[in-house]
Each structure stands twice: as structure tokens, then as C-alpha cells.
Amino acid sequence: MKKIWIGTSWKMNKDAASAASWAAAVEQAVERSDGRVQPFVIPPFPYLSQMAQTINAEAIQLGAQNMCWQDSGAFTGEVSPLMLKDCGVSIVEIGHSERRAMFGETDNTVNLKVLAALKHGLTPLVCVGDTADEKKWSVSVESVVRQVKIALFDVPFDKVTDVILAYEPVWAIGEGGTPATKEEAETVHRAIRDALVECYGQETADSVVLLYGGSVNLTNASELLDQVNIDGVFVGRTAWDAEGYVELLSIANSKLEH
Ligand code: PEP
């Protein structure tokens, strides 16, 4: 059975003290979790080293919110894969819709970052999503599959299972977002899986982890996790409070009880 992934990105939130108290509050729940539940947390860059020193990396994986595809050089303001590894990071989030919309991330730079992450043994967590207009025009699947195919351009068969894909509808994430229904989410996840089958074959496609993100809360998490092609959830607001994150872990753990 595949693991159930329960992760959160803090975006540009928290400070050193609240990062420490979040880590302390989730520690026991993370340690108690079934080994088939995989927690991860993605703090802002300045707290990565602090978090690496406080959390048990065996129990909860540490991620970064972005990186450059270059190893080093004249790239002011950027952070390299090697630096992330130095800080104890194992996952790197790539292509979040806020980075695409506000900071010039493109499908092409997403692909360069995916290839660089894989080269350095980091797990790329690639976010893809449709806009509200694309949903209205009924081209959600086309848009998301296109993003997936470009993100994975030149990723070989033996590396694609190291990539995690997160379907995050732009209309669902953040304040004012409306969560996708389980049917809406599963339809796009199924289309992503089918695209992976087309490119890599069934067995490899089935091993790729697909997460859903966008207004996941304590009410809808369970039914989302029940969907055949949803292997976990990637959560913002609900998981910023340690209690919310712990509750999400317990929902995931309950899926494994029978
Ligand atoms: C996100 O922005 O990636 C996200 C999942 O946020 P939220 O859960 O707050 O909608």
C-alpha cells in the first residue's frame, strides 16, 4: 500500500518562536503516526536550519518553498539545491500558483527546477492547477495535464517516481478559495494519472504520488483521502495551527485502521 502524505507549507508566515512551538506541538503526533503516513512541513527559508535541528527527519520530512536550478553563481536572491541539502531539506516545492502568478515562474522554469532537484537527490513537489477561467471554460484537465507534461519533460522512467505532483486548483487555494469537491479533485487526479500512464506506463504511473491541495479542512480531508487517485493532501491554513495539522494526521491514520 502507498503512503498517505500529509504536508503543509507555511508560505510567508510564522516567526522563529511560532515555528519552534509548532514543531514541539506536532512532534508526538508525528512520532505516533503509522509508518504508512508520511508527514512533511515546508517553512520559509530562514527557519529551515532551525526546523532541521528540532524535528526528527525520519518522522517528518522538511521541504523548501522554491529553489534555483543552478548550483551556484551570480543569481542574487536565489537559493541553490546544494544549499537546501546543507540545511537538511529533502523536498522542494516547485511551481506553486503564487510563484507562477506573482514571481514569474513558468512551465519552463518549473521543468528546469524539477531536473535540478532530481539531479541533487531532492524530491520535487510540483504544484499544478487550473485557474477559475479555465474551470469555467471546461479546460481544467487540458491545462493541468499540459503543466504536468512540461514539468516532467526529460525526466527519465527511473526518476519520475521520485517526483510528487500536487493538484492545486487556483480557484481553491487560500483566502476566498472554494475547495474542490471530491469528484472535481478525483477527475483531475485521474487525468494526471492517465497522462502519466501515457508517458511512463501503468506500473510507474501508479507509483507516482499525487496530492490534492486547496482549502483542505478538517471536514473535507477524509473524503478527499478516500479517492482512488489522491495519495495525500497538501494543506495551508488548516495546518498552520499545530492542532489542525495533528488532526489531519489522525484522519490519515484512521484510514489505515481497517
Ligand atoms: C496552498 O496555497 O497551496 C494551499 C493549499 O492553501 P490553503 O490550504 O490555505 O487553501
pLDDT tens readout for residues 58-104 = 899 999 999 999 999 999 999 999 999 999 999 999 999 999 999 99
pLDDT tens readout for residues 114-165 = 999 999 999 999 999 999 999 999 999 999 999 999 999 999 999 999 999 9
Residues contributing to the annotated binding site for substrate = 174, 215
96: annotated active-site residue: yes
Has residue 258 got a pLDDT over 70?
Answer: no
Q: Which of 6, 13, 215, 248 to mutate to test the pocket of ligand 1 (most atoms within 8 A of CB)?
A: 215
**pLDDT band for position 1 (cuts 50, 70, 90):** confident
Has residue 243 got a pLDDT over 80?
Answer: yes
Q: Is 174 in the pocket of ligand 1 (CB under 6 A)?
A: yes
162 CB-near residues (< 8 Å, 6+ apart):
118, 123, 124
Q: What is the pLDDT of residue 120?
A: 98
**Closest residue (by CA) to atom 8 of ligand 1?**
236
Q: Which of 173, 211, 230, 241 to mutate to test the pocket of ligand 1 (most atoms within 8 A of CB)?
A: 173
Q: Is 88 in the pocket of ligand 1 (CB under 6 A)?
A: no
pLDDT tens readout for residues 167-194 = 999 999 999 999 999 999 999 999 999 9
| Helix (H) or strand (E) run with residue 41 in it | strand 37-42
Q: What is the pLDDT of residue 122?
A: 98
How far is 225 from 255, CA to CA, in rounded Å? 8
Rounded to the nearest whole angstrom, what is the distance from the C-alpha of residue 236 to the centroid of ligand 1? 4
**pLDDT band for position 257 (cuts 50, 70, 90):** confident
Half-sphere exposure of 80 (CA within 13 A, CB side): 12
**pLDDT band for position 2 (cuts 50, 70, 90):** confident
What is the DSSP track for 192-254? Answer: HHHHHHHHH-HHHHHHSEEEEESS--TTTHHHHHTSTT--EEEESHHHHSHHHHHHHHHHHHH
184: annotated active-site residue: no
Average pLDDT over residues 231-245: 98
Q: Is 177 in the pocket of ligand 1 (CB under 6 A)?
A: yes
Domains observed in the chain: 4-255 (3.20.20.70)
Q: Are 117 and 94 in contact (CB under 8 A)?
A: yes
Rounded to the nearest whole angstrom, what is the distance from the C-alpha of residue 152 to the centroid of ligand 1? 23
Q: Is 233 in the pocket of ligand 1 (CB under 6 A)?
A: no
Give just the sign of the alpha carbon dihedral 255, 240, 15, 100. Answer: positive
Of 238, 243, 249, the C-alpha closest to 13 is 238
Q: Is 214 in the pocket of ligand 1 (CB under 6 A)?
A: yes
How far is 245 from 221, CA to CA, in rounded Å? 11
pLDDT tens readout for residues 199-237 = 999 999 999 999 999 999 999 999 999 999 999 999 999
Rounded to the nearest whole angstrom, what is the distance from the C-alpha of residue 211 to the centroid of ligand 1? 12
pLDDT tens readout for residues 20-63 = 999 999 999 999 888 999 999 999 999 999 999 999 998 999 99
